[in-house]
Amino acid sequence: MADTTPDDAPKPKRGGFFDRVVDDATEAESVAAKVFVYDGGVRLWHWVNALCIVILCVTGYLIASPPPSVPGEASENFLFGYIRMFHFAAGQVLAVMFLFRIIWAFVGNHHARQLFLPPVWSGQWWKEVLFEFRWYAFLEPDPKKYIGHNPLAQIAMFTLFVIPMVVMIFTGFALYAEGQGTESWWFAVFGWVIFALGGNSFFVHTVHHVGMWVIILFTMVHIYAAIREDIMSRQSLVSTMISGWRYFKDDKE
């Protein structure tokens, strides 16, 4: 049966920790008119993170493929310096906000944990992943209702966003540490990343560059899926990450 209990009302306990993770990731078919899903911390992180990714991708592309020389004396131009400055600043903000997001997974509501805990041990969860895959492939006539992320979105965000984001943060800081010098505290903290990837700085650059394109492709699919589901599914998507409230288009299970 569907859980029609208001989101702010006390709910019965649902077994152990791992059982609750499965329930939170497969909580389909709510008949409530609306449910509060994403609290302020999640929404703040989402939009700051989105802005940082845009800045990082644009400046990162320009760093990998520098713009043509600008006219005039070199001493009067600092274009590439500004590009690097914005890239470094956005990267540091992104890393701080990612750490904030990890902490918020513990202090926020149970929806805040979905990004980091796909219940891969659950057969029921994998069945719903397959259903959602068929729905996105236009092989299912009717979508299900989900209060939080649907299972396919959950595994996609973990494998194509969370893991690449960790790689991007560590490789980015390792490259920044290299520029700061081997005697800097940056290199003392992040220099091991270069040696872990074979001691080849060029390979670290390559991993970082490929990671950027993974994030770009994920972002494109993420935007498409959010708009598609906002139109075709039975619940709100885009507005939910603005207001925090999930609205449902019908009262059927």
Q: Which among 192, 177, 222, 220 has a CA at the least distance from the CA of 57?
A: 220
Write the DSSP symbol of residue 112. Answer: G
Length of the chain: 253
Kindly report the pTM of this predicted structure: 0.85
Which of 1.20.950.20, 1.10.340.30, 1.10.3210.50, 2.60.120.380 would CATH assign to domain 35-68+76-241? 1.20.950.20
Q: How far apart are CA 88 and CA 82, in angstroms?
A: 10
Write the DSSP symbol of residue 28. Answer: B
Q: Is 193 helix (H, G, I), strand (E, B) or coil?
A: helix
pLDDT for res 34: 85
pLDDT for res 9: 47
What does pLDDT average to in each consecutive run of 10 residues of the chain (253 residues)?
44 61 66 85 97 97 83 75 94 97 93 90 92 94 90 94 97 95 94 94 95 96 94 91 90 70
Structure tokens at 142: 């009717």
Structure tokens at 44: 């703040």
pLDDT for res 21: 72
Q: How far apart are CA 168 and CA 90, in angstroms?
A: 12
Contact 187, 178 (CB under 8 A): yes
